[in-house]
Structure 1
Amino acid sequence: MTNQPPDGEHEGAQETGDTDDWRGHRIVTEQDLGAVFKDGDDGAGRGKGRRAFHGVVLGMLLAVLIAAAIVVQGIAAGWIDLPRPALRPPPQADCPAGPYLYQSPDTVTVNVYNSTPTPGLATEVAEALQSRGFKVGQTGNSTVNRDGMTAIILSGPSGEAQAFTVQQQIPSTHYIQDDRKDASVDVVLGSTYEDLVPVEKAQAAIPGPISCPWTSASPSADAG
């Protein structure tokens, strides 16, 4: 018999004594594994790194929660004062703020209406206003849905300063704005009207807003 290797056996491997090859296939050895997985790069090392990272994240979350609890406690106790926006009182609805200047009476046209049972009251007040220099337009009677009022002052947007001037003549009046286009002013006299304020006091009025003291819905006024 000859000493030929069996069919298919890698002759070079047998001749050279290379034990890493067997029948043409590379055999992975322990040295190969060691070269790939170096110290600190094995599964155990990676697991330790992940645990350390998770610990850091949990520590940071815990610190944030503790800080938030301290802030909440400080706000509740009053020793932490957060800045707050300045609060402004809401303006009264439909009441022009002005300020308005006292107008020369001869530039103001006034219509005077009487809503009381007292006959001739509108004419009486119209003559008193005319003696102060106001121009009188119409006089007559009116019905309003408001008890215990002194007078209602009405004007359009272009007559606000004129309405302010008329309000200085009669105490405790309430202003209502309508949609008229001119600057005329209506005065609707109520049951508590007594007299005009002294002319010196009216003329000494400083710039200010129109007066709208009623907090309930404004009554409807029908002059006629």
Structure 2
Amino acid sequence: MAHDSLDLLTVLGSAGIVVKLVLLVLLLFSVVSWAIIFIKFFSLRRDYQESLRFQEFFWKSSSLSDVYAKMKHMGESPAARLFRAGYKELNAMGRAGGGQGGGTGVAGLDTLKRTLDRTCSAEVTRMGQLVSFLATCGNTAPFIGLLGTVWGIMEAFHGIGLKGSASLAVVAPGISEALVATAIGLGVAIPAVVAYNTFLHRIRTIGSELENFSADFLNVVERDLHRIPGES
């Protein structure tokens, strides 16, 4: 195993300047993509769990004002930020207070819906930050590696021409150096693509949960709006 690692380092050390530059770019891509993978894995997991926790708290509360008063003890989450934006808009229209009175009509509900939709869209955009780099990395890393391979093969054939020999001993080192670039390019791209698709699915799931919560929030407000005075 140690001998194999030493051989790989020897191959990389004897590679041409262009191949080394390609490998350096791939190394940077790999470091950045893995940093993003770890950051987004934990942040999206936290967003999902905290949003579910807030929704459970929402349904157990007695009124919207009660939710708003106690939500400071809850962790920050997309669902909490969505509720806060909706409640503040509702309060601005004179409808905050757990379903007590107010003059909000259909136009007010439309305004509230637009606020919730805008906040939901902003949350999805926020969760998607940095994720697009993984797609870029997955799409370009194999081609960058292929560039290093093609260039390395060109150098190998140039060496054959200079030495006037096409024996395996002359060709093999240059070809192996070149193929390493493609292998590393694939090694960078595969985790990035897998992570991108996984995170995209999680973001869509959270986005759907936010849309459902937004609809539930509107339903609660609308029920309060049409509640008969004195009805419990």
Establish whether TM, by shorter chain, passes 0.5. no
Q: Which has the higher strand share?
A: 1
| Larger proportion of helix | 2
- TM class, shorter-length: under 0.3
